[in-house]
Structure 1
């Protein structure tokens, strides 16, 4: 359900090189979040039910570096020209299109009282877009991870830290309130809390989660993700 560390390392090195070509300096790091598929409970996510998603080997990667001003420059070569916006005074409706997921995540972090620096971002993804595999949640979570680390914030999940589920909630807020897309918490929780070799049993009412070990190959099963070309 996830790629090897070496494959991820090659991907990160390639994105770092692209970042340097684009922005003229090396990134501070590369952050990633996966797409997801859902085994059981497709429509219970937003009805306070149980869901059983799992992470896919497809992911969204973000190379980023802090800026000295309060602006964000976000570039995805697949989406055209770079998008720019200011962090100060950022509000829903200020940014549209794919960059609204970036802006919305940073807006949600700021609204939660977290310090978000200006930054340059380069985005690359192999999560199929519009195919129901949570490409938007992967983007939100990868951007959120980058912003937390660039801002020097604690991701340990301790008393004062931000846990993976905390970030998932903020990413959901971004999608609901900034982008204007109603969704439950499953997609973001799967992106942030999934574990290799496991399905994620998630109670969307209590927000309790449990990792369920799965070895499909041992039981001679093969998991297929099929693009039906039907609109999502």
Structure 2
């Protein structure tokens, strides 16, 4: 009987060790996958809102808790600027409220004065999101006092504009005209023709690029 008990105890201990090892490996893989992202701005949703002063003002409670917790978790031991914790205010005009969110494995700030991604991060060189990536704009129309988002896929908008262009930046505000038209601005990298150059006796192909901006009406999409 004691031998049988010891045998069962050994098997149980072995089972616990194996299960614990598998769980540990899965957790390491999960963290490694999350740390692929070098620019991450959580996508906030409206938890509650209220129009006040006879509809002249609006109070919004935003929530991005789930993504924010992930960001803070994987950010341990990494530079704080590797991820950007979004402010909840968003960009707004007289009628529209805009929230930009993204989760990228490459840096879009190639021409930015201040680099937010780690120095080792590659620059964004594509307009098709890789697995797990997104770059979204949520626009809320306050006209009917029902704040339902209209979502724009930045990658898709840029591809539709020109299949060779690469997204770089979104305007920090919504512009509204006297004709009651509203739009936001997308800055894109527009490649020029490639050319062959010789450096130190070695020939290589260099593709030049320049920035191009496009106004994107919020009524589209």
* TM-score when normalising by structure 1: 0.25
Using structure 2 for the length normalisation, give the TM-score: 0.26
- Structure richer in helix, relative to its length: 1
Question: Which protein is richer in strand relative to its size?
Answer: 2
Higher relative contact order (CA 8 A, sep 6+): 1
